[in-house]
Amino acid sequence: MPITLRTDTLADGRELLYFDDADTTLGPERGIDARVLDPRPATASMRQDVLTGDWVSIASNRQNRVFLPPADQDPLAPQTAANPSEIPSRYDVAVFENRSPSFGPALEHENAPADLADLAAIGLERTRTSVGRCEVVCFSPEHEGSFGSQTVSRARTVIEAWSQRTAALSAMPGIQQVFVFENRGQEIGVTLGHPHGQIYAYPFITPRTSALLRSVAAVGDDLFAQILASEQQSERVLIRGEHFTAFVPFAARWPLEIHLLPHRHVPDLAGLTDEEKDELAPLYRRLLRGLDALYDTPTPYIAAWHQAPVHEGRDAVRLMLQVTSPRRAADKLKYLAGSEAAMGAFIGDVAPETQAAFIRSGIEKADMTEKADQQ
């Protein structure tokens, strides 16, 4: 049975989508969201930093979002009489519009960016409306966990949801880039322990991707092919599959940093084939479980899916996963202080080759643990 998509609407009009596992035990019925909710907040405004040209969204409504609630008040768990959460029914994977978005809910507005040229102009006190879309992706109805704690079947469902939402959001008016990510751990700033990620659909091309486009212009449209070929010959490779290679990058910034590239050029998650998604689910899961096996407690991380902009660089910018963690020892974190935070100049404490060997040991340990659990 294939992964099934079911669509619904929350009480305040936000879109809700259910993705049922290929081996789901759920029926097709879904409950109705009978809550009485306040109107959605007004779309935020973004301001340009004239020193850099970057755009900063000022989303004051996010000050009121839920912070580390008890399990019986988890806003991402299925609704009960005592917990009027965001999702009316039991689910496998659920996606819905964020109640406190940094971008949106409006997709069009009289002060929305006109185009990329409008955004690139630099001047004092320039503002635009923060049009776009922010979505929450719930990996499981369970209160605790992460992507790595899901079954392979569930991981595959999440990847299908990411792919479908990337395509849908990219087709919306005013969207310039779609960013899929998972924040894991209070050390990263996570406010909900529930296993989930987010998707931002930006009305601009992000600063990190703008810098990448400059590198592509300098090196050539085959930049990612060159990176992949170089890394595959290095001692920094962690896992090499038929369709993907995971490695610690040559110039890693963070104590724990993993990059993953597809072997062929594909601009975003929506462009992956079923065969590639089928390999990615267990491979990506192994990487995250390997990070968790490095120490006695779960490893905090940001898992960021860097995708090509919607309209720029599609033939040159390749889909890339970047997983970064500030954890530099069992009880120590790397804090971004003077050089990193103020100047953006990172200083690494350990050679990437040493960290690659360390991460491989975690992957091997996690593999052995899972094999023993299955016996």
Per-residue pLDDT reduced to its tens digit, 22-34: 999 999 999 999 9
* 331-360 average pLDDT score: 93
* 198-207 average pLDDT score: 98
Q: Which residue is catalytic, options 196, 243, 265, 306?
A: 196
Question: What pLDDT is recorded for position 35?
Answer: 96
Q: Report residue 71's pLDDT band, with 50, 70 and 90 as the boundaries.
A: confident
Instruction: Give Cα 224 to chain centroid, integer Å.
Output: 20
Instruction: Give Cα 59 to chain centroid, integer Å.
Output: 20
Which amino acid belongs to residue 115?
Answer: D
Q: Are the C-beta atoms of residues 153 and 22 closer than 8 Å to each other?
A: yes
What are the structural domains of the chain? 4-39+66-99+132-374 (3.30.428.10)
Order across the sheet with 244-247: list the strands.
Answer: 4-9, 15-20, 93-97, 133-138, 196-202, 177-184, 301-306, 320-325, 256-262, 244-247, 237-240
* 153-173 average pLDDT score: 98
Signed CA dihedral, 239, 242, 244, 250: sign only:
positive
Q: Report residue 373's pLDDT band, with 50, 70 and 90 as the boundaries.
A: confident
Question: What pLDDT is recorded for position 69?
Answer: 85
Q: Are the C-beta atoms of residues 223 and 202 closer than 8 Å to each other?
A: no
Per-residue pLDDT reduced to its tens digit, 222-270: 999 999 999 999 999 999 999 999 999 999 999 999 999 999 999 999 9
Q: Report residue 64's pLDDT band, with 50, 70 and 90 as the boundaries.
A: low
Between helix 274-292 and helix 352-374 the angle, nearest 10°, is: 100
3-state secondary structure the chain: CCCEEEEEECCCCCEEEEEECCCCCCCCCCCCCCCCCCCCCCCCEEEECCCCCCEEEECHHHHHCCCCCCHHHCCCCECCCCCCCCECCCCCEEEEECCCCCCCCCCCCCCCCCCHHHHHCCCCCCEEECCCEEEEEECCCCCCCCHHHCCHHHHHHHHHHHHHHHHHHHCCCCCCEEEEEEEECHHHCCCCCCCEEEEEEECCCCHHHHHHHHHHHHHCCCHHHHHHHHHHCCCCEEEECCCEEEECCCCCCCCEEEEEEECCCCCCHHHCCHHHHHHHHHHHHHHHHHHHCCCCCCCCEEEEEECCCCCCCCCCCCCEEEEEECEEECCEECCCCHHHHHHCCCCCCCCHHHHHHHHHHHHHHHHHHHHHHHC
369 pLDDT more than 90 = yes
* 149-177 average pLDDT score: 98
Question: What pLDDT is recorded for position 51?
Answer: 97
Question: What pLDDT is recorded for position 358?
Answer: 97
Signed CA dihedral, 334, 335, 337, 342: sign only:
positive
67 pLDDT more than 80 = no
Would you call 196 a catalytic residue per the annotation?
yes
Question: What pLDDT is recorded for position 337?
Answer: 86
Share of residues in the chain with pLDDT > 70 (%): 99
Question: What pLDDT is recorded for position 189?
Answer: 87
* 89-114 average pLDDT score: 96
Question: What pLDDT is recorded for position 191?
Answer: 85
Tell me the pLDDT of the chain averaged across its residues.
95
Q: How many CB atoms lie within 10 A of CB 310?
A: 21
Q: Report residue 357's pLDDT band, with 50, 70 and 90 as the boundaries.
A: very high
65 pLDDT more than 80 = no
Question: What pLDDT is recorded for position 63?
Answer: 62
* 343-357 average pLDDT score: 94
* 293-315 average pLDDT score: 97
pTM of the model: 0.97
Joined tokens for residue 64: 């009121």
* 54-78 average pLDDT score: 85
